[in-house]
Copies of this chain bind each other. A is one copy, B any other.
Amino acid sequence: MNNIGIVSYGHTKYDFLPDDAPQLMKGVIDECLESVEKGISPKDIGLVITSCVDNQFSNQHQTGALALRYLGNLDAEAFRVEAACSSGSMAAYVARKMLTAGYVDNALLVGFEKMSGVSTPTATSILIRGGSPEENLNGITQPAAYAMMAQIYMNKYGATEDDYALVSVKNHSNAMRNPLARFHKKLTVEDVKNSRIIASPIRLLHCSPINDGAAAILLSNRPKDFTDTPVFIKGMGLAHDTLGVFERSDPTSVMASKKAAQKAYKEANVGPKDIDVAEVHDAFTPVELMIYEDIGFAEKGKGYELIRDGTVNFDGKLPVNVSGGLKGKGHPVGATGIGMLVESFLQLRGEAGDRQVSEVNLGLVENHGGTGATSVVTILGR
């Protein structure tokens, strides 16, 4: 599958945006097609997969067919995939399989979410659907579910509130350099620790924000036909865990991400030490420390050392979430996975502007759904 590459992208700012869901889709489809360096015709795109998390956000069924309108090719095949917050990476995972099998040569992936202005009490009451039916029924929201994980991790491994705060501080600092990011506001550890409790130990400034946004990428099995500098998907893994945190033998690990990373490393024939830059799923920042462990950047129970010693900072040895992450860049849920792939694409092409990391040969993207019942890990290179 290693001939499959990303050749172009589209990406809105993540923010409260005036556009509705169809306008968000149209914007990134246009941008993605127009930025193909050697040009592409809509009829050369045989497959479109859309990613959005909730129909109540999109106010639309059949977003696949709608994407074909904006693509300008009703002869392509199109459908939506959904796996909660990992939907974007899932779209890429499924498309890559279709490309590898030779069913189509080029596939367009369109992730979007219109989270503001939804006609229900709060977006959180929609996002609770990402957990298990039992958690949903008992009012365990996503922050509450992550709080259980964060509390157990502190008790078991000695992570502190300062460690959790440092992740938010780092990701907001990184977002300062990203013009597409939701927040351009520096935080201190004290800011985070003084922000209001949402579900102890999770505070407001540990939570990724509600916002709108969209991202698209064009995947090809002949990427050099479209650009001299494609970014190849070197390895990709999909794995699952129980939906409910309460069902897990070890809630301090996102086991699906661990398994997905192992699959991705194996396919790419590399290890954690070979990765130069990573985007990980910090929907609630404490989990970022657990992810370091699950993707092999740190030993079990020692993830917090990487944030304490600065390894994962922008100027550290292994920068994580240089985009600002879900916390600082934003988390329009259906767009997120594709937006993370866009960040890795930019870093590998040396086009990340003020946030460009030097000497990037391999990037990793970890994108999970809910508290990790689904996870997709992707390794990208030139």
A interface residue numbers (CB < 8 A to B)? 20-22, 53-56, 58-66, 68-69, 74-84, 90, 94, 97-98, 100-101, 103, 126-127, 129-130, 132-133, 136, 238-243, 369-370, 373-374
Contacts and interface: CB of A to CB of B under 8 A. Distances in A.
Contact of A55 (B54, B62, B75): B54
A288 to B, nearest CB: 21
Kindly report how many copies of this chain are found in the complex they form together.
Answer: 2
Nearest to A57: B55
A369 B241 contact: no
A74 B247 CA distance: 12
A64 B373 CA distance: 9
| 10 nearest CB pairs, A to B | A101-B101, A65-B373, A61-B84, A62-B84, A80-B82, A61-B130, A54-B55, A61-B129, A22-B133, A79-B83
A253 B73 CA distance: 19
A61 B103 CA distance: 28
**A55, A63, A243, A369 — most chain B CB neighbours (10 Å):** A55
A10 to B, nearest CB: 19
Nearest to A127: B61
Contact of A62 (B56, B77, B239, B373): B373
A290 B76 CA distance: 24
A136 B60 contact: yes
A79 B94 contact: yes
B101 A66 contact: no
